[in-house]
Amino acid sequence: GSVTSPAALAGKTIAVNSLDNSNQLVAEAYLARYGVNPSSLHFVALAYPDMPSALSAGRVAAAITDEPFTTIVKSQGAKVLAAQPDAAIAAHPVYACWVASSDWLTAHKQVAARFVAALGEADSYMAAHPGYLASILPKYTTVSASLARQVTLPDFTTRLAAADIEPWAKAAAKYGITRSVIPPSSALLPIHPAAG
């Protein structure tokens, strides 16, 4: 049958976009809050576009989705157990970021600085023009204009500090993704935006 509560997911199969990643951590931390033993869960990796059909066909009991697929599965009758299950990690977690090795960053300082500057410019533009992203999604993706107006968009920021990484590092160690808590500051190498 369909799942209507977090506790009903004990022993079930959950789709995440990649195994042993942030979405799996979110699912484990969120369900543990409801008494579900994370080791009872079975995770399968599915691309976000494949999650709606896997849910509707009953191949998975639940999925950690992303937009526009959250809106799609809701329109198909799926129940959203938590609009923000990542709150099980931190009150307002930084959820996604660009990652590069320190060797690459050291060898490509100017490219990295220009990339950070471009991200900052895009973030500022979207903050000043909140309807812009919905207007261009249909042009550059397969998301329809109707769906683009319905999706919930994230907050975009270029700020990242050790305090943003710490809850993820603790959860990764707690749920066995890492062997121990990786010092958050060791994951940061500040790149200052290039001017102009």
* 3-state per-residue secondary structure call for the chain: CCCCCHHHHCCCEEEECCCCCHHHHHHHHHHHCCCCCHHHCEEEECCHHHHHHHHHCCCCCEECCCCCHHHHHHHCCCCCCCCCHHHHCCCCCCCCCCCCCHHHHHHCHHHHHHHHHHHHHHHHHHHHCCCHHHHHHHHHCCCCHHHHHHCCCCCCCCCCCHHHHHHHHHHHHHCCCCCCCCCHHHHCCCCCCCCC
Q: Which of 11-15, 33-37, 130-134, 180-184 has the lowest mean pLDDT?
A: 130-134
Six-digit token pair at 191? 């790149």
**pLDDT (tens digit per residue) in 163-179:** 999 999 999 999 999 99
**pLDDT (tens digit per residue) in 105-163:** 989 999 999 998 998 899 889 888 888 988 998 999 888 888 888 887 777 777 788 99
Place of tokens 């937009």: 67
CA triple 82-26-84, angle to 5 deg: 30
Q: Residue 7: what pLDDT? A: 94
Q: Residue 1: what pLDDT? A: 55
Pairing of strands 42-45, 62-63: unpaired
Pairing of strands 13-16, 62-63: parallel
Of 5 and 155, the one with more pLDDT: 5
| Residues 33, 84: Cα–Cα separation, whole Å | 14
Percent of the chain with pLDDT over 70: 98
Instruction: Give the mean pLDDT of the chain.
Output: 89
Q: Residue 98: what pLDDT? A: 82
Q: What is the pTM of this model?
A: 0.78
Q: Which of 30-34, 55-59, 74-78, 158-162 has the lowest mean pLDDT?
A: 158-162
Q: Which of 45-54, 115-124, 182-191 has the highest mean pLDDT?
A: 45-54
Six-digit token pair at 79? 């129940």
